[in-house]
Amino acid sequence: EIVMTQSPATLSVSPGERATLSCRASQSVSSNLAWYQQKPGQSPRLLIYGASTRATGIPARFSGSGSGTEFTLTISSLQSEDFAVYYCQQYNNWPPLTFGGGTKVEIK
């Protein structure tokens, strides 16, 4: 099973600042990585797939990078609606499909 580890667990950021979230895989997942956003009381929403491709309707301030075992989600200028929990998910080697433990982005 591929273990996905996200860091930090919590990220405190001021509106307008840049946020950088990390996701590490226990073995290479190539570029088969997705990022999701989940706001309180809501279901997850796909942000990024293929490590760097934005899903339909996702603003350009969200960008993904990386391949192999190290991945980054960057939010260039945090808006109020971006404060949420973010999860990465690998789909390179499964079953099982595996998620990271999440990073909570909170207001500083």
Partner 1 sequence: EVQLLESGGGLVQPGGSLRLSCEASGFTLSSYAMTWVRQVPGKGLEWVSVISGSGGNPYYADSVKGRFTISRDSSKNTLYLQMNSLRVEDTAVYYCAKSPGYCSGGGCYSWYFDLWGRGTLVTVSS
Which of 42, 46, 47 minimizes the C-alpha distance to 61?
Answer: 47
Quick note: the x/- pattern for partner 1 over 37-76, rule CB under 8 A, is: -----xxxxx--x-----x---------------------
C-beta pairs of 47-53 under 8 Å, 24+ apart in sequence: 47/73, 47/86, 48/73
Nearer to partner 1, 26 or 77 (CB): 26
Least distance (Å) from partner 1 to the CB of residue 86?
11
Footprint on residues 70-89 left by partner 1 (CB under 8 A): 87, 89
Give the residue, chosen from 60, 80, 81, 96, that forms a contact with partner 1 under the rule CB under 8 A. 96
Q: Could you tell me if 11 and 103 are in contact, meaning their C-beta atoms sit under 8 angstroms apart?
A: yes
